[in-house]
């Protein structure tokens, strides 16, 4: 075996706890300028974990690393996959973080597949993948054989739950691969959920760490000033991006304007000319929630809500269809694009999609009548724009006890929709 020398940055003091902890899963809630990628590159090459192993035999990769450390890297012949939220981020990661570090003679760069082969040891490869769509993430699933570790970058900014449960979970079984999840936090993201759970101890297998630029001894003294030129201090963006604070609330859906007195009513007579539509939030683990609303020339009223727990797509479709038979005609049901994904979940690729199965249930219950399920894509930016729209619709002014007609919000909720009301009021506080 030839000896290959690679320049690695020694982990800084604030990175040490995450670098030396023995746990297989490491979640890093680190703000900007904390050296996330630098540490990740080091662990990609040489692995991570303590010198002395606390695991029962076979519960880490120590047999692969010749007792050097618990978790192995490229030098041990394992592959490591680095996941970025979407193609642009994957491209940036590849160009700015990976290529410059891999330009030495120890690596062979395969630009076509965004892969770098390490020439030492067992010739493990570093792969860069995007989580832009389920198909790209799904391609990780087939890598099991040599996969030793997974790093997810900016994990608060993609469908981390899908990636973990359907792809990373199954792919890491073969070699008991380690998983590092790093990001700045984002309100309402699954990353924040994992951080909270790891922090409070309800995920004992996960190591949680928090860091900000202030912990980074390698930064110049004017670092705070430079950051303040990028992000306005004191704002939510500062608290998340820089301080890595785990802010409470929904997925950016905050309605500080929420007021029960103006947003909730018990109005029943909805004019027959109003148009009805439904929105469906498919829950893989949470209940599936359907809201049905009517839209007039000025107002939108959320009139009904339904929740379905632990049932198949067909059954939910069937039950919903029975309900719809008793209501004014609903024109369409807007649903998460994930339901239309052919390779969703753990099912075989050829089966009908969740949307197709639900549509079948609907049609059967409605005796052939068709209320189409339509896909809404939650791409980057789309969440923000729909939040803007909601906030605009929910804005109001004046006296909350008695707003004048033009001061009322354009979106209101019927008082029977108790779950939605509870959710909105949580997000408002």
- Among 70, 80, 163, 294, which residue sits at the site for Zn ion (rule: CB under 5 A)? 70
Size of the site for Zn ion (CB under 5 A): 5
Kindly tell me which of 61 and 216 has the beta carbon lying closer to Zn ion: 61
Kindly tell me which of 72 and 83 has the beta carbon lying closer to Zn ion: 72
- The torsion angle over the Cα atoms of residues 127, 129, 134 and 139, rounded to 10 degrees, is -20
CA distances from residue 380 to 131, 250, 292, 376 in whole angstroms, order as listed: 12, 16, 25, 12
- HSE-CB at 315 with a 13 A cutoff on CA atoms is 7
Min dist CB 43 to Zn ion, Å, is 15
Q: In whole angstroms, what is the distance from residue 369 CA to residue 295 CA?
A: 22
Q: Angle between the 354-365 and 313-325 helix axes, to the nearest 10 degrees?
A: 40
Q: In whole angstroms, what is the distance from residue 274 CA to residue 294 CA?
A: 6
Min dist CB 4 to Zn ion, Å, is 25
Point out which residues pair with 376 in neighbouring strands. 336
Q: In whole angstroms, what is the distance from residue 22 CA to residue 25 CA?
A: 9
Window of 40-48, 70-78, 83-91, 410-418 that interacts with Zn ion by CB under 5 A: 70-78
The two three-digit tokens of residue 122, written as one number: 């067992």
Min dist CB 62 to Zn ion, Å, is 5
Do 419 and 305 meet the contact criterion of CB atoms below 8 Å apart?
A: yes
Min dist CB 22 to Zn ion, Å, is 6
Kindly tell me which of 35 and 47 has the beta carbon lying closer to Zn ion: 47
Kindly tell me which of 53 and 289 has the beta carbon lying closer to Zn ion: 53
Q: Is 68 in the site for Zn ion (CB under 5 A)?
A: no
Q: What sign does the CA torsion over 153, 159, 164, 170 have?
A: negative
Strands 373-376 and 115-118: unpaired
Strands of 225-299 (E only): list them: 264-265, 275-281, 288-295
The two three-digit tokens of residue 283, written as one number: 């829950």
Residue 13-52 contact track with Zn ion, rule CB under 5 A, x = bound: ----------------------------------------
Window of 68-76, 201-209, 212-220, 321-329 that interacts with Zn ion by CB under 5 A: 68-76
Kindly tell me which of 56 and 405 has the beta carbon lying closer to Zn ion: 56
Q: What sign does the CA torsion over 91, 94, 96, 100 have?
A: negative
Min dist CB 9 to Zn ion, Å, is 24
Kindly tell me which of 47 and 124 has the beta carbon lying closer to Zn ion: 47
Residue 45-64 contact track with Zn ion, rule CB under 5 A, x = bound: --------x-x----x-x--
Kindly tell me which of 205 and 404 has the beta carbon lying closer to Zn ion: 205
Within 10 A of 269 (CB to CB), how many other CB atoms are there? 5
Min dist CB 65 to Zn ion, Å, is 9
Kindly tell me which of 58 and 272 has the beta carbon lying closer to Zn ion: 58
Min dist CB 20 to Zn ion, Å, is 12
Q: Can you give the binding site for Zn ion, defined by CB under 5 A?
A: 53, 55, 60, 62, 70
């Amino acid at each position: 075996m030839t000896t290959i020398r690679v320049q690695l940055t020694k982990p800084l003091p604030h990175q040490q706890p995450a670098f030396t902890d023995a746990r297989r899963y490491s979640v890093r809630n680190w703000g900007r300028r904390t050296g996330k990628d630098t540490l990740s590159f080091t662990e990609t090459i040489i692995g991570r974990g303590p010198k002395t192993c606390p695991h029962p035999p076979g519960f880490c990769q120590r047999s692969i690393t010749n007792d050097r450390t618990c978790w192995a890297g490229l030098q041990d012949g394992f592959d490591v996959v680095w996941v970025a939220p979407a193609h642009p981020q994957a491209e940036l990661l590849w160009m700015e973080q990976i290529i410059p570090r891999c330009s030495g003679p120890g690596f062979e760069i395969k630009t076509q597949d965004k892969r770098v082969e390490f020439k030492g040891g067992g010739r493990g490869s570093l792969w860069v993948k995007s989580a832009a769509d389920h198909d790209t993430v799904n391609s990780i699933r087939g890598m099991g054989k040599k996969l030793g570790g997974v790093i997810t970058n900016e994990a608060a900014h993609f469908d981390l739950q899908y990636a973990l449960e359907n792809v990373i979970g199954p792919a890491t079984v073969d070699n008991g691969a380690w998983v590092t999840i790093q990001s700045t936090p984002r309100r309402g993201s699954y990353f924040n959920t994992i951080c909270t759970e790891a922090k409070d101890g309800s995920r004992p297998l996960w190591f949680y760490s928090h860091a900000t630029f202030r912990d980074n001894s390698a930064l110049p003294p004017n670092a705070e000033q430079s950051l303040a030129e990028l992000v306005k201090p004191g704002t939510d963006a500062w608290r998340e991006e820089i301080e890595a604070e785990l802010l409470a609330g929904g997925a950016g859906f905050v309605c500080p304007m929420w007021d029960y007195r103006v947003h909730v009513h018990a109005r029943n007579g909805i004019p027959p000319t109003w148009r009805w539509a439904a929105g469906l939030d498919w829950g893989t683990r949470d209940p599936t929630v359907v809201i049905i609303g009517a839209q007039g020339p000025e107002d939108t009223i959320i009139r009904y809500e339904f929740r379905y727990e632990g049932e198949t797509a067909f059954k939910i479709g069937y039950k919903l269809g029975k309900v719809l038979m008793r209501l004014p005609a609903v024109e369409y049901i807007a649903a998460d694009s994930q339901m239309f994904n052919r390779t969703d979940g753990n099912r075989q690729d050829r089966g009908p999609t969740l949307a197709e199965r639900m549509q079948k249930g609907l049609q059967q219950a409605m005796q052939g009548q068709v209320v189409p399920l339509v896909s809404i894509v939650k791409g980057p930016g789309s969440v923000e724009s729909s939040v803007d729209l909601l906030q605009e619709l929910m804005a109001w002014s004046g006296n909350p006890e008695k707003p004048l007609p033009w001061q009322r919000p354009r979106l209101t909720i019927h008082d029977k929709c108790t779950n939605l009301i509870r959710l909105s009021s949580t997000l408002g506080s």
